[in-house]
Amino acid sequence: MSSSVRDSSPTERRGLVTGILGLGLAIALLVWTLHDISFDDFAARVQQANLAWFCAAVLLAFLTLPIKVLRWQELLRATGDVPSFGALWHAAAIGLLVNNLLPARAGEFASAYAARELCGRRFSTTFASIVVERVFDGITIIALLAITVIAGGADLSSDVGGVSLLWVGVIGCAAFGGVFLFLCAIAKWPQFFVSKTTEFIAKVTNDTIGERVAALGDGLLLGLGALQTLRRLSLVLSWSILMWLVNTASIWAGFVAFGLGASWHVAVVLQVVIAISVILPPAPGFFGVFEAANRVVLTLYGVVAAAAVSFAVSYHMTLFVISSLIGLWSLWRSKILWSQISRASRASEAP
């Protein structure tokens, strides 16, 4: 073992292991997804795609970014002055860039760090607001899946990768619903949770660590402020619904561009499967997971594998390139160094 590996911190070693796992998973999924796809067939289908519909799909996909920023503004409203739209835009775009370049959803930490630097909020507060965002995302897509089932657009007995949609929904409801209720309980009775946590930490560590944990807890509670009022909850949920409906429209427009003949119901099911799939340690850019999910879901609904893969790769690569360019521009405009973002993405900075 080299001295650099021995001298690395536990956080860095965990990051390395997670990155290797994510990369290995991505390679395995890409090999499976592409193993029987002819390059000539792939290229022909891409050339035959309707450019106008594909551009509409891409534009709709990026329309979700300003909606996400507006939702983030609402979440942080309870922490003081409302952060500017531009500052949160840059923080969100930097997060996209980091997710494209680093594994294991490191962009979530990078976004929180960038928001701290650009908006003057504590890292723990901005990160807590991002956790709430992800919970609302999960609740929204599971609700859309339920609506799709009620509308007759999805059969709960259908298998997706060997797992029925019923179990996908149950797992999603249990995971996101449970976390949501737990966060609401913390927001409702903050002093109880802070005191109990502080007491426990004091018993197993020293006073200094206990004080740092208490300070961190105060920041996290600020980030959960949106869960304390029904009005703010409703606004955040409304932005979440709008964002995922726009994303559904984007995927459906991509279906039309490639002549897949799949309905909006399929776009909803695809969103849910991808959201559940990326709970695993993803590779940079979610490569492998995204393509495999598209192939599994679309072939389930009768789409030819080559057509499904042609759409998935084209759509994914286009969004990857454009989001990376937007993120690079935001990184340059914000004057934040990549070295700072890289450290924050490993969650090593959490003041």
Q: What is the pLDDT of residues 219-252, one digit of tens each?
A: 566 656 667 777 888 888 899 999 999 999 999 9
Structure tokens at 186: 């913390």
For residues 269 and 158, what is the distance between their CA atoms, to the nearest angstrom? 11
Residue the block writes with tokens 């499904």: 308
Report the alpha-carbon angle 98-103-105, nearest 5: 65
| 147 or 2, higher pLDDT | 147
Residue 98: closest CA among 320, 349, 350, 334: 320
pLDDT of residue 2: 46
Low-confidence winner among 50-54, 91-95, 324-328, 333-337 (lowest mean pLDDT): 333-337
pLDDT of 59 > 80? The answer is yes
Structure tokens at 82: 């409302």
Share the mean pLDDT of the chain. 81
Long-range CB contact pairs, 47-55, < 8 A, 24+: 48/259, 49/257, 49/258, 49/259, 49/310, 49/311, 49/314, 50/256, 50/257, 50/258, 50/259, 51/257, 53/253, 53/254, 53/256, 53/257, 54/253, 54/254, 54/257, 54/258, 54/314, 54/315, 54/318
| 25 or 313, higher pLDDT | 313
SS3 159: strand
Question: Averaged over 95-117, what is the pLDDT?
Answer: 87
Write the CA distances from 17 to 11, 104, 277, 283, 333, integer angstroms. Answer: 10, 10, 19, 12, 32
Does this model's pTM top 0.85? My answer is no
- Are the C-beta atoms of residues 347 and 127 closer than 8 Å to each other? no
Residue 160: closest CA among 31, 270, 268, 304: 270
